[in-house]
Structure formats: structure tokens, C-alpha cells
């Protein structure tokens, strides 16, 4: 509890004890024997101890010409009860009301802790390395790209950068939600907000603090609450109209029945109807509705944030809950985004010799496929075995390896050299090799599919997603291979960024034509996919915490590369919306019933306040369920960071 919560809880307990003493003295007749003023003055003590701030806020609202809120309702009801001589009820109503307020404050504080944990990512200091080898402690904002900082064990990494020296283990969970630590060495990219656990690192800064991953996430979290959902706007508008209406209804309840009785010649019973009107006011307090709806969204945003799912406000939660069609980019989303040798087909030699010839011939090339070939060889390149290296732009290389005339490249290079291919490429990414003019074999390359991709699609189908589409700029052959392996309903290949936007627009139009309220989501890497991320009903930026384009364009940012979190996000949003609807129904039904009972005189003020506080407590407890972001999909990761 905060200091204020502890103080308020002490006030409630003290007031409750004082009320018990007053009731005891009243029933034994001691207060009556002390004089007529003793009873109201005695009950006034516990009433003011617990309720003085409610009265103050009510008066301030009246002075500012904005009186119609829960403080006004409670002040009028309890002061009216005191005026009618219902001293114990007035004090008890205020105690119960403040108990509900305290409980609400505690619940909000609990949900805020998840947001606060994210805000604690902000590093306070950076150790800048000076030319003489000395260290200078400065604010992270003062460190420029290109400068070197020192990160000691236990420190937060203050800025994004690349490790220049040292090895260590980094805790990335606060930023990515990933429980496994990152083993960092020379050349490892690190982000601000990671926590250094073991060794000392020297990190060359690559981005100023304002463009770092942690700064982008902090800005997203700070601004998320500003994007309100339709349900939150409804509650705000409802409360603005509801409070004056119930005040008018209470006034009518206090005046009209007695006036009708006077007209008919019967006793007016002013006190009875005034008491019913005050009870009506207590029951009408809209706390459960006004508090629990925003709290449900706030809890969902906070819990998701701690699990590495950053959602830009409750309006995005609403849209997420209606997603029925998901389009995905291929590279970096369902595949690892890095080519590797997947098949070796030698002709007239063994696999190792074919790999050796390709790797040595490509020893000077920086082409991605050349790098993959050398990685597949896995041994140091002996350059003394290689001579006469010649680059053929866009086709490949020729060289002499161990005296052999070796050519490595695409089919066009083979045709240019008069080497006959045994079969066509069939759309695959292939590196051909020839030795002394004779075909020697081929290496097939592919972007490896992520192990989580297939379970992610299964989870999406179980989550109610009706259609899964793969949108990629890659060639038809590679795209079809990945799409069929993973079970996409549709594959579109060879798309430019504008083509992806048009494809998503077609999907949206199809949903609208079918009369469906389903939303279309797009999942991409957040950089070249920024236009389509913006156009989709819901845009997911995957593993793109370091990209300003991703933070700006996407509605949801997944801070790691696990595509299973797309389904987790959708199910979390549906859970949140289910909680919101439950709370609205609970609050409105119980309020309507209690208002009717109060107006009929079947419910007294004690019953009214217990019902009011009870509904609010139930709604708040229900809202807190949105904090629990566990692996709602069977295949999703489970770790402590995902369970709040």
C-alpha cells in the first residue's frame, strides 16, 4: 500500500471503532442522559473522521459549477440522513463508501505496478568512457552515437549499442518478456533497458537516447491511456448524463408523493419520502460502472506490457478483440530472416568437397549466399589455395581452387560458361558450381521457418481467426513452399509495399461485404511494412522495439520475435472485452433493481450502501482478472514474466 492508502485505511478502522462505541453508548442510554446535543455530536465524530474529504470535494465541485459526481451524491445523502436523525446510518454509509473507495484505490495501484515496472526501465546514468580510459557518469541524454559507455554488472544498459569488448549475460525480460538470458559478446547488439548480470561490457552507442528502444517503449506506454475505447467514452458520457438525471429523480421522489398526498387530503409523510430519496441517491452512485470499465482496460494494458505485448490504448484492445482475418509478412515474421544451406546436391564428388569448392571460390564475396556457403563449410578458408578470383556482377564468381577452374553462381553464369544444368531451379534459391567446365553440383538456400510459426497459426485458428494470408515480396516458389508448409489459406508473392496495402484493403472490403464486424490484422517487421501496418485495422510490429517506424505505424508492438504472441494478444483482448461487458451488465442490472427497491421503500440506506459497495468490489475484482496474462494458447511460452 502507498502512504495515502495506509492513512485512509487507518481512518476507516478508527471511524469504525468510534461508530461501534457510539452505537453502544446510544443503546445503553448514556448519550441520551448526557443531553440532546450529545447524540448527534457523538456520531458526528466518526462521520467527519472518515468523510471530511468527501464533503470537501463535494463543496469544491459546487463552487466550480461541476457538482454532479459521486462525492455530491454521497454528501447530500449522508447530510440528509443526519438532518433526519439517522446518525448511525449516515456514519455507516460514509464508512462503507470510503471502504469501497479504498478498495478501488488498491486495485488501481495493483494494475499500475505493471506499468510502473515498465517505466522503471528508464536508466538514470551512463558511464561514458573518456579518451584517457577514465569513466564519467552523465545522463544518458548526453551520450552521442559513436561514443563508448561502460556497463558494469548490475547496471541497466542505458542506450542502444554494439558490444566492443567483454562478455556477459543480460536479462532482457523487462523489455522483451523473454525469460531466457542473452549471452552477449563482441559484436552483440544490446538495447537500453537490458540488465547486465555478470561481466563488464564496453558498448559503442549507435543511437541517441531519444531514439533508443527503451525511450520508444516509454513514450508508447505514457501515451497509451490517451486512446480511449468506445466503451470508455460511453461510460464517461453516461456518467455525465446519469448523475443529473438521478439527482432530479431523487428530488422528484422526495417532493411529488407528499404533494400528491396533500392534494388527496392524506398525510404527506415528508420524512418518509425524503429518506427514500436519500436512499435512492446512495444507490444511484455509479462507482462500479465508472471505475471498473477503465480499470479493466488499464489492467489489460499493464499485464500485456509486462509480457512484452505493447498495445497502444484501449481502442486497440477493442479492435483486437474483433480480429477474424490475419495477414502476415514472411521474412522475419514466420521465417528467421536469414538464409541457410538447406540442401547439398553434388555431382561426381562428395558433399564436403562441393562445399569446399564453393566456400573457397566465394572467399572474397560479401553476398549473403556466399556468407551462407562459407558458414555451411564451417572451417577456416585457406586463401593460399585460391587464385584468379573474378567477380561476375549479378551472376557469381570464377576462381582457381587447388588448380581447378571453379565457377560458382546462378544458372545464367552456367549458361554463359556453356555448362549444362541437369534440371531447372523451379523457383528455389540455388547456387550452382562447375569444376573445369563440368557441372559439380548445387547448393539450395532457404530462409528457415521459425519453430514457433506453425504453432502460432494453430493458435490463431483456435482463437477464432477465420482466414490466414501470407503477403511477401519474395518469389513465388519460396513463398508457396513456406505457405503450404505452414497451412496458410492464401499466399501472395512478389508484392511491393503498395501491393501489400492493396491486398489488405481487399481483405477489409471482403469482410465488409460479408456483413461481418471482423477486423483485419497485419503482422510484419515494422520497417518496410509501415504503410500496410498503418492501413490494417490492427497492425502488429514484430520484434521491432528498436524501430521508430514500427512504434509509429503499429497498433501492437511485440517486443520479441515469437509469432505465437499474436494469438495471445487477441485472446487477451477478448478476455478484457468480456470482462468489460460483464461489469456493465452487473452494474446496470443491480443498480436498476436496487433503485426500484429503494424508491419503493423496500431497501433502507444500510442495504443501499452495502449493495453499492458490493457491486463495486465485485466489478473491480472482475476487472483485475485482466491483469493475468498467462499463456492462454497451449503452445505459447510460459514464464514468470507472463504471469502477473
Dihedral in degrees, nearest 10, Cα atoms 626, 627, 628, 634: 60
**Last residue in a domain, options 414, 449, 484:** 449
Q: Both 540 and 485 in a single domain?
A: yes
| 433 inside domain | yes
350 among known catalytic residues:
no
Query: Which residues, in sequence order, are bridge partners of residue 311?
Result: 556
Q: Both 411 and 475 in a single domain?
A: no
CATH code, domain with 539: 3.40.50.1000
Q: Which residue has the cell 567477380?
A: 391
Q: Both 368 and 420 in a single domain?
A: yes
Q: Both 519 and 484 in a single domain?
A: yes
| 635 inside domain | no
Average pLDDT over residues 338-350: 86
- Indicate whether 176 pLDDT > 60: no
Q: Which three cell numbers stand for residue 23?
A: 452505537
CB distance 194 to 157 below 8 Å: yes
Q: What pLDDT does residue 259 have?
A: 84
pLDDT band at 641; cut points 50, 70, 90: very low
Pick the most confident of 96-105, 227-236, 369-378: 369-378
pLDDT band at 642; cut points 50, 70, 90: very low
Structural domain for 178, as ranges: 126-155+160-206
Q: What pLDDT does residue 580 have?
A: 85
Cα gap 223→412, rounded to integer Å: 54
- Indicate whether 115 pLDDT > 70: no
- Indicate whether 221 pLDDT > 60: no
* DSSP H or E run through 59: helix 38-63
Percent of the chain's residues with pLDDT above 70:
80
pLDDT in tens, 357-367: 999 999 988 77
Cα gap 627→299, rounded to integer Å: 5
Q: Which three cell numbers stand for residue 160?
A: 542502444
- Indicate whether 220 pLDDT > 50: yes
Q: Both 18 and 101 in a single domain?
A: yes
Which are the contacts of 471, defined by CB distance < 8 A and separation ≥ 6?
327, 328, 329, 330, 492, 495, 500, 503, 504, 522, 532
- Indicate whether 96 pLDDT > 80: no
pLDDT in tens, 528-550: 677 888 888 898 888 655 456 66
Q: Both 53 and 64 in a single domain?
A: yes
- Indicate whether 431 pLDDT > 50: yes
Q: Both 61 and 10 in a single domain?
A: yes
| 431 inside domain | yes
- Indicate whether 276 pLDDT > 90: no
Burial class, 584, CB count within 10 angstroms (exposed 0-12 / middle 13-18 / buried 19+): buried
- Indicate whether 420 pLDDT > 80: yes
Q: Both 25 and 36 in a single domain?
A: yes
| 279 inside domain | yes
Q: Which residue has the higher pLDDT, 221 or 278?
A: 278
Q: Is the dihedral of CA 198, 203, 209, 213 positive or negative?
A: negative
Q: Both 541 and 463 in a single domain?
A: yes
pLDDT band at 14; cut points 50, 70, 90: very high
Q: Cβ–Cβ contacts within 10 Å for residue 640, how many? A: 8
Cα gap 151→153, rounded to integer Å: 7
Q: What pLDDT does residue 638 have?
A: 41
Burial class, 343, CB count within 10 angstroms (exposed 0-12 / middle 13-18 / buried 19+): exposed
With CA atoms as reference, report the closest residue to 289 among 225, 247, 241, 253: 241
Q: What pLDDT does residue 92 have?
A: 79
Kind of pairing between the strands at 396-401 and 404-409: antiparallel
Cα gap 409→125, rounded to integer Å: 51
Q: What pLDDT does residue 3 have?
A: 78
Average pLDDT over residues 454-472: 91
- Indicate whether 444 pLDDT > 60: yes
Alpha helix ranges (H) inside 526-604: 530-535, 548-553, 564-599
- Indicate whether 187 pLDDT > 80: yes
Please give, one letter per residue, the 3-state secondary structure of 376-397: HHCCCCCHHHEEEEEEECCCEE
- Indicate whether 640 pLDDT > 50: no
| 31 inside domain | yes
Q: Both 321 and 352 in a single domain?
A: no
Q: Which three cell numbers stand for residue 291?
A: 471505475
pLDDT band at 423; cut points 50, 70, 90: confident
pLDDT band at 201; cut points 50, 70, 90: very high
- Indicate whether 325 pLDDT > 80: yes
Q: Which three cell numbers stand for residue 606?
A: 444500510
Q: Both 593 and 503 in a single domain?
A: no
Burial class, 346, CB count within 10 angstroms (exposed 0-12 / middle 13-18 / buried 19+): middle
Mean pLDDT taken over the chain = 80
| 327 inside domain | yes
Q: What pLDDT does residue 401 have?
A: 93
Pick the most confident of 15-19, 222-226, 256-260, 315-319: 15-19
Q: Both 460 and 315 in a single domain?
A: yes
Q: How many separate domains does the chain show?
A: 4
Q: What pLDDT does residue 275 have?
A: 77
Options 69, 155, 160, 329, the catalytic residue: 329
Q: What pLDDT does residue 438 have?
A: 93
| 213 inside domain | no
Please give, one letter per residue, the 3-state secondary structure of 105-170: HHHHHHHHHHHHHHHCCCCCCEEEECCCCCEEEECHHHCCCCCEEEECCCCECCCCEEEEECCEEE
With CA atoms as reference, report the closest residue to 327 among 514, 476, 465, 458: 465
CB distance 587 to 615 below 8 Å: yes
Q: Which residue has the cell 584468379?
A: 388
Q: What pLDDT does residue 260 have?
A: 81
**Last residue in a domain, options 559, 590, 609:** 559
Pick the most confident of 76-80, 298-302, 448-452, 542-546: 448-452
pLDDT band at 238; cut points 50, 70, 90: low
- Indicate whether 5 pLDDT > 90: no
Average pLDDT over residues 429-439: 91
Cα gap 509→512, rounded to integer Å: 5
| Region label for 310, one of left (φ > 0), alpha (ψ between -120 and 50) or beta (otherwise) | beta
Cα gap 243→637, rounded to integer Å: 46
pLDDT in tens, 476-532: 777 888 888 899 999 998 887 778 888 999 999 888 887 777 889 999 875 567 788
Q: What pLDDT does residue 489 have?
A: 92
Give the three-state DSSP class for 180: coil
| 145 inside domain | yes
CATH code, domain with 202: 2.70.150.10
Cα gap 433→615, rounded to integer Å: 76
**Last residue in a domain, options 529, 559, 589:** 559
Q: What pLDDT does residue 632 have?
A: 46
pLDDT band at 194; cut points 50, 70, 90: confident
Amino acid at each position: 500500500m502507498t502512504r495515502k492508502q495506509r492513512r485512509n485505511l487507518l481512518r476507516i478502522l478508527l471511524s469504525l471503532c468510534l461508530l461501534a462505541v457510539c452505537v453502544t453508548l446510544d443503546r445503553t442510554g448514556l448519550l441520551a442522559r448526557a443531553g440532546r446535543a450529545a447524540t448527534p455530536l457523538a456520531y458526528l465524530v466518526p462521520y467527519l473522521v472518515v468523510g471530511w474529504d468527501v464533503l470537501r470535494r463535494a463543496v469544491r465541485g459546487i463552487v466550480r459549477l461541476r457538482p454532479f459526481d459521486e462525492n455530491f451524491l454521497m454528501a447530500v445523502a449522508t447530510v440528509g440522513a443526519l438532518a433526519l436523525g439517522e446518525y448511525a446510518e449516515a456514519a455507516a454509509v460514509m464508512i462503507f463508501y470510503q471502504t469501497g473507495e479504498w478498495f478501488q484505490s488498491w486495485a488501481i495501484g495493483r494494475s499500475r505496478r505493471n506499468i510502473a515496472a515498465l517505466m522503471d526501465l528508464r536508466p538514470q546514468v551512463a558511464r561514458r568512457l573518456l579518451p584517457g580510459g577514465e569513466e564519467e557518469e552523465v545522463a544518458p541524454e548526453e551520450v552521442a552515437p559513436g561514443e563508448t559507455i561502460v556497463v558494469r554488472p548490475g547496471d541497466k544498459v542505458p542506450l542502444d549499442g554494439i558490444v566492443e569488448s567483454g562478455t556477459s549475460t543480460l536479462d532482457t525480460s523487462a523489455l522483451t518478456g523473454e525469460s531466457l538470458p542473452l549471452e552477449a559478446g563482441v559484436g552483440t547488439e544490446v538495447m537500453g533497458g537490458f540488465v547486465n548480470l555478470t561481466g563488464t561490457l564496453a558498448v559503442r552507442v549507435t543511437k541517441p537516447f531519444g531514439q533508443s528502444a527503451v525511450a520508444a517503449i516509454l513514450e508508447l506506454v505514457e501515451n497509451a491511456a490517451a486512446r480511449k475505447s468506445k466503451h470508455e467514452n460511453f461510460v464517461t458520457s453516461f456518467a455525465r448524463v446519469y448523475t443529473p438525471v438521478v439527482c432530479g429523480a431523487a428530488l422528484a421522489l422526495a417532493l411529488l408523493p407528499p404533494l400528491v398526498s396533500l392534494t388527496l387530503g392524506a398525510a404527506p409523510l415528508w420524512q418518509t419520502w425524503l429518506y427514500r430519496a436519500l436512499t435512492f441517491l446512495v444507490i444511484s452512485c455509479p462507482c462500479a460502472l465508472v471505475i471498473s470499465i477503465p480499470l479493466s482496460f488499464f489492467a489489460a494494458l499493464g499485464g500485456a506490457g509486462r509480457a512484452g505485448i505493447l498495445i497502444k490504448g484501449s481502442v486497440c484492445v477493442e479492435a483486437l478483440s474483433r480480429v477474424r482475418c490475419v495477414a502476415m509478412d514472411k521474412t522475419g515474421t514466420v521465417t528467421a530472416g536469414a538464409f541457410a544451406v538447406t540442401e547439398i546436391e553434388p555431382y561426381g564428388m562428395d558433399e564436403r568437397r562441393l562445399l569446399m569448392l564453393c566456400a573457397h571460390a566465394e572467399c572474397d564475396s560479401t553476398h549473403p549466399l556466399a556468407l551462407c556457403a562459407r558458414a555451411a563449410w564451417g572451417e577456416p578458408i585457406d586463401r593460399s589455395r585460391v587464385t584468379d578470383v573474378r567477380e561476375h556482377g549479378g551472376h557469381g564468381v570464377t576462381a582457381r581452387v587447388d588448380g581447378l577452374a571453379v565457377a560458382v553462381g546462378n544458372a545464367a553464369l552456367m549458361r554463359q560458361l556453356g555448362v549444362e544444368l541437369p534440371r531447372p531451379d523451379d523457383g528455389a534459391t540455388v547456387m550452382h558450381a562447375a569444376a573445369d567446365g563440368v557441372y559439380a553440383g548445387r547448393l539450395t538456400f532457404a530462409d528457415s521457418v521459425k519453430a514457433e510459426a506453425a504453432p502460432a497459426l494453430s493458435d490463431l485458428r483456435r482463437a477464432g481467426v477465420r482466414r490466414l494470408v501470407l503477403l511477401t515480396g519474395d518469389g513465388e516458389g519460396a513463398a508457396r513452399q513456406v505457405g503450404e508448409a505452414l497451412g496458410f489459406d492464401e499466399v501472395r508473392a512478389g508484392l511491393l509495399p503498395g501491393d501489400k496495402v492493396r491486398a489488405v484493403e481487399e481483405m477489409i472490403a471482403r469482410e465488409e461485404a460479408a456483413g461481418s464486424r471482423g477486423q483485419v490484422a497485419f503482422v510484419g517487421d515494422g520497417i518496410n511494412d509501415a504503410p500496410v501496418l498503418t492501413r490494417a485495422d490492427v497492425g502488429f510490429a514484430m520484434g521491432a522495439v528498436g524501430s521508430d517506424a514500427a512504434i509509429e505505424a503499429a497498433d501492437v508492438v511485440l517486443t520479441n520475435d515469437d509469432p505465437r504472441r499474436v494469438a495471445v494478444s487477441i485472446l487477451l483482448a477478448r478476455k478484457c472485452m468480456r470482462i468489460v461487458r460483464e461489469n456493465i451488465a452487473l452494474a446496470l442490472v443491480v443498480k436498476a433493481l436496487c433503485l426500484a427497491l429503494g424508491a419503493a421503500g423496500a431497501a433502507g440506506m444500510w442495504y443501499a450502501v452495502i449493495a453499492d459497495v458490493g457491486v463495486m468490489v465485485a466489478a473491480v475484482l472482475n476487472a483485475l482478472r485482466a491483469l493475468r496474462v498467462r499463456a492462454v494458447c497451449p503452445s505459447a511460452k510460459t514464464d514468470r514474466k507472463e504471469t502477473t
